[in-house]
């Protein structure tokens, strides 16, 4: 029934595990969830209040396709504060999250056969979205012995005459790696268009993630409210686009998406312009969990892909079990009641890894680790 390209899209493997976890829970089993990339703390009170207020004030209609001016200005203010970058609000395009933004940007940029260079392990939708929209993926497999750091030379060596853009994700899902400034400088200097998914910016531990916008204007920056503000279900994000793309981008977005939700945009404005102390409070909580997991996985004899510097994930090498990551994640779920994501979701390169998400309460993480320890003892 479906088109050939729709038929090729595979769901995240994590979804299969999530569904199975649901069945086990329905049958009375207790499952520790460390597979979800979803903050366990929701939007701060003042943001919720702003959404209610906006509904009362009638922000319930379509908005200009590029978003309401107040929010675009607030995003521009965010770049001034966070990165010391002067950004014309006209270059800010409001979307219903980074996911539709990826679809928007790739559909805007790619002609059939155009290539996009990405780094592996990658966020699962990247290659699927590029291929779905007629592009070709050139995946640069990063070196596990180098903590999966972005390899500038190999990224640039993968560029061909058909390359339309290089896509980077820092801090990375699933590794937590942060691109250093030299890498961003090198990418910017290459003259190739850079698409930068910065959704985990501000969730960093002791280092600050630089935005590609500090280095070049020949870029598309994608970011949103899902992770930092715990607003996954609100569906709100933005794209910083090159100035000359704006008019045609409006035409594309208008036809396919109309606009982001009006009162959610007002809530987004409140999120960016209101108090920000909860960001550091949440960071402190993530960091405690991160340190706990790093130490406990080491005690289990599982090496890390890299010590994560950002996001809320940790990629653990489970090859010492003699099993692959998919088998380990299935068995941990069935036999230990612990849900994690198989590395395979993030590309073949991570097949011997499993990804832990520490967007889960520390006490539950401790229960999960204890169960894994017992499972390994029995194993
Ligand atoms: N980009 C990355 C790297 C992600 O990990 C995720 C969600 O897990 C998204 C984008 C999706 O973001 P949004 O909720 O804004 O669609």
Closest CA to ligand 1's atom 7: 37
Can you tell me the distance from the alpha carbon of 356 to that of 34, in angstroms, rounded to the nearest whole number? 5
Atom of ligand 1 nearest to the CA of 101: 16
**Ligand 1: residue whose CA is nearest its atom 8:** 37
Q: Do domains 4-42+277-378 and 45-273 have the same CATH topology?
A: no
Domain boundaries, the chain: 4-42+277-378, 45-273
Domain 45-273 annotated CATH 3.50.50.60: no
Pocket lining for ligand 1, CB < 6 angstroms: 37, 97-99, 123, 169, 173, 197, 199, 224, 226, 232, 237
| Separation of CA 369 and ligand 1 centre (Å) | 26
**CATH domain 4-42+277-378 topology:** 3.90.1150
Which residue from 123, 167, 261, 357 has its CB within 8 A of the most atoms of ligand 1, so it is best to mutate? 123
Instruction: Tell how far the Cα of 127 is from the centroid of ligand 1, in angstroms.
Output: 14
One digit per residue, the tens of pLDDT, for the chain of length 379 reads 999 999 999 888 888 899 999 999 999 999 999 998 999 999 999 999 999 999 999 999 999 999 999 999 999 999 999 999 999 999 999 999 999 999 999 999 999 999 999 999 999 999 999 999 999 999 999 999 888 999 999 999 999 999 999 999 999 999 999 999 999 999 999 999 999 999 999 999 999 999 999 999 999 999 999 999 999 999 999 999 999 999 999 999 999 999 999 999 999 999 999 999 999 999 999 999 999 999 999 999 998 877 899 999 999 999 999 999 999 999 999 999 999 999 999 999 999 999 999 999 999 999 999 999 999 998 7
Pocket test for ligand 1, best of 126, 227, 312 (most atoms within 8 A of CB): 227
Give residue 215's pLDDT.
97
Q: Does the pTM exceed 0.75? A: yes
Hey, what are 34's tokens?
Answer: 């460390």
What dihedral do alpha carbons 241, 120, 286, 195 form, nearest 10°?
Answer: 0
Which atom, in ligand 1's list, is nearest to the CA of 237?
Answer: 15
**Closest approach atom of ligand 1 to CA 225:** 15
The three state secondary structure string of 251-310 is HHHHHHHCCCCHHHHHHHHHHHHCCCHHHHHHHHHHHHHHHHHHHHHHHHCCEECCCCCE
Q: Give 100 Cα–ligand 1 centroid separation in angstroms.
A: 10
Determine which residue's CA is closest to atom 5 belonging to ligand 1.
Answer: 173
The 3-state secondary structure of 192-232, one letter per residue: CCEEEECCCCCCECCCCCCCHHHCCCCEEEEEECCCCCCCH
């Amino acid at each position: 029934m479906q088109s050939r390209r729709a038929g090729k899209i595979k769901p995240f493997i994590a979804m299969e595990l999530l569904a199975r976890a649901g069945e086990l829970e329905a049958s009375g089993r207790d499952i520790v969830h460390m597979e979800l990339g979803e903050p366990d703390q929701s939007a701060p009170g003042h943001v919720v209040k702003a959404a209610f207020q906006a509904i009362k004030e009638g922000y319930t209609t379509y908005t200009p396709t590029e978003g309401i001016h107040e929010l675009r200005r607030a995003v521009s203010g965010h770049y001034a504060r966070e990165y010391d970058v002067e950004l014309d609000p006209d270059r800010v395009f409001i979307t219903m999250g980074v996911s539709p933004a990826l679809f928007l940007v790739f559909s805007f940029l790619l002609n059939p056969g155009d290539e996009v260079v990405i780094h592996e392990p990658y966020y699962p939708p990247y290659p699927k979205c590029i291929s779905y929209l007629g592009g070709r993926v050139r995946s640069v497999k990063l070196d596990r012995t180098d903590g999966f750091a972005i390899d500038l030379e190999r990224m640039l060596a993968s560029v061909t005459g058909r390359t339309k853009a290089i896509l980077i994700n820092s801090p990375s899902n699933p590794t937590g790696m942060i691109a250093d400034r030299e890498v961003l400088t090198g990418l910017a200097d290459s003259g190739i268009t850079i698409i930068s998914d910065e959704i985990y910016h501000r969730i960093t531990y002791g280092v600050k993630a630089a935005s590609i916008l500090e280095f070049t204007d020949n870029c598309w920056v994608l970011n949103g409210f899902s992770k930092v503000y715990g607003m996954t279900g609100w569906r709100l994000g933005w794209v910083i686009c090159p100035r000359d793309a704006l008019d045609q981008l409006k035409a594309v977005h208008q036809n396919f998406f109309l606009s982001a939700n009006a009162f959610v945009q007002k809530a987004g404005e409140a999120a960016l312009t209101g108090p920000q102390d909860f960001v550091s409070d949440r960071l402190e909580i993530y960091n405690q969990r991160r340190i706990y997991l790093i130490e406990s996985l080491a005690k289990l004899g599982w090496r890390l892909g890299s010590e994560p510097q950002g996001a809320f994930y940790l990629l653990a090498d489970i090859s010492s079990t003699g099993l692959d990551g998919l088998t380990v994640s299935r068995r941990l779920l069935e036999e230990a009641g612990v849900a994690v994501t198989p590395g395979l979701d993030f590309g073949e390169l991570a097949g011997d890894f499993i990804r832990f998400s520490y967007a889960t309460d520390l006490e539950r993480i401790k229960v999960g680790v204890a169960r894994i320890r017992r499972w390994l003892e029995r194993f």
